[in-house]
Amino acid sequence: MLKYFVLFNFILTSFCFAQAELKTLIAEGLEQAYNFNFKQSEKIFNQAIDDYPEYPHGYHYISQIKLWAYLGSKDEVEFKSFLTHSELAKIKGERLFKKNENDPYISYLLGSIYTLRATANSFKGSSLDAFWAAKSAVGFFETTLEIDEKFYDAYLGIGLFNYALSYVPGIFKWAINLSGLSYDKEKGMEYIKLAYKKGHLDQTEAAFHLSKIYTDYVAEFDSASTLLEKLISKYPGNSLFHYQYAVLKIKARELEEAENSLNKVLEIDHPKFYQTNSLSHFLMGDIYFKRNNFSEALKYYKKFLTTTIDIDYTGIANYRAAISSFMLGDTVEMRERLLLARMGNLDIPDDIYANEKSVELLENGISENHKKVILAKNDVEAGRSLSAFTRLKEIADSIEVAEMRGIAYFYLSEAAYDIGNFETSIEYSKKASAIKYKTEKWVLPYAAYVTAKSNYEIGKYDRSRKFLEIAENNNDFEFKESLEALVNNLTRKLDIL
């Protein structure tokens, strides 16, 4: 009996020692991967495969950088490499788990393997396969927590699925129900926070995803900025961190910082992130468009349109290029770009909007007042609200087209809020809300939201809650998620009073 005990103890000690050495090796590889030194990271992960061929770790982390490379470049060679390494990781992980069913780390690793497979299937449009992979991932993460309730990194995966699945279109809800998965944005965010604060394996991943949620779901731009600045400081070669920081700063109307980040992406010019580089040209176009620098905007939109390798955002890029051409006096190119604006991806809000507006502009053109409203809107979105207020106050009441007048009132309301004239802001929001809209229905919920935040600033919290509810109840248009984030942000402020 003693011999068997000694033998078992030796095997267990050897297994734990192997795992400790392997984890150190993987940690070194991940440091290189997060800084986008993919050749060096892959070399380290291959060493892990050579030294520990029966373990899934090396295969899994190579599959991760291959998936990153595919998502950043749409290169099918990278995707095939991901599939090969992911399959080997899955086989070896499941084999190892059968031998060590009480090891939370192996269970966690299997959850991570299936998470990448769910992500890959989702991007490839294989929805049902994505849901089944997600179910397996969540199952392994839950098993990890059953084995060790303090293995906080497992909350990252569970949180991500809770958050991401809430965005699945209604036509696919049956598949979620079939797979037995559940979803809850708030719970997802709290789980990811927990993983970030108490986890020790995936803090970088948790920080990045949390920054995106702060940006897209609750509009907590300062919190998102803090997380991303830490990541960029630690991993300055990571194009994706710089790109996400630019997205954040555009939403926060801090265009100079956004431009600096995009210039960094283009300076790095990572060959594995070709599409990210192309999208950076698109965002640079947006920055110059908002600055009313239409010649530079047009240059960057054209650069994006000639480098992108899929149709996402080509509709909105052509639409804004058309407006830029009009502002520069080239109505021929304007019409050409408006026709091209119909050819974007009609599954995404920006390109849906571009398609609808291009039809309207081809039929009606751009009037002088419409031109002034566009310039004022850009002023607001570039943080020049005083200029916008001055520009619109002179013309708003005289605009004959009701919907255009309503849009002018709305931007007067937003500009007045930005410069601290909250009562004036409320007055213009009321004017904007009094108009009936056939196409620009977004004005009504946005005007209600601006009224809500103006009332919040002057201490009328009950009225703020009332108009926030109106905004939420009428939020049914292409860009509903943008307004949802702003509503969530103000709701949180009201909830702590």
- The string of pLDDT tens digits covering residues 259-273 is 999 999 999 999 999
Q: Is the pLDDT of residue 173 over 70?
A: no
Q: Read off the pLDDT band of 175 (50, 70, 90).
A: low
What's residue 21's pLDDT?
A: 87
Q: Read off the pLDDT band of 488 (50, 70, 90).
A: very high
What's residue 18's pLDDT?
A: 55
Q: Are 120 and 84 in contact (CB under 8 A)?
A: no
Cα–Cα distance between 215 and 244 in angstroms, integer? Answer: 9
215-218's contacts with Cβ under 8 Å and 24+ in sequence apart are 215/244, 215/247, 215/248, 215/251, 215/485, 216/481, 216/485, 217/163, 217/185, 217/189, 217/484, 217/485, 217/488, 218/189, 218/485, 218/488, 218/489, 218/492
Q: What percent of the chain has pLDDT over 90?
A: 86
Q: Read off the pLDDT band of 52 (50, 70, 90).
A: very high
pTM comes to 0.92
What's residue 176's pLDDT?
A: 56
Q: Is the pLDDT of residue 15 over 60?
A: no
Q: Is the pLDDT of residue 167 over 80?
A: no
What's residue 7's pLDDT?
A: 31
What's residue 479's pLDDT?
A: 84
Q: Read off the pLDDT band of 145 (50, 70, 90).
A: very high
Mean of the per-residue pLDDT values for the chain? Answer: 92
For the chain, domains (ranges, CATH) are 2-202 (1.25.40), 203-290 (1.25.40.10), 387-497 (1.25.40.10)
Q: How far is CA 464 from the centre of its chain?
A: 28
Dihedral sign (CA 150, 156, 161, 162): positive
pLDDT in tens, 279-309: 999 999 999 999 999 999 999 999 999 999 9
Q: Is the pLDDT of residue 1 over 50?
A: no
Q: What is the mean pLDDT of residues 102-124?
A: 95
Q: Is the pLDDT of residue 422 over 50?
A: yes
Q: Is the pLDDT of residue 198 over 60?
A: yes
Q: Which two tokens stand for residue 299?
A: 């240059």
What's residue 16's pLDDT?
A: 42
Cα–Cα distance between 277 and 300 in angstroms, integer? Answer: 12
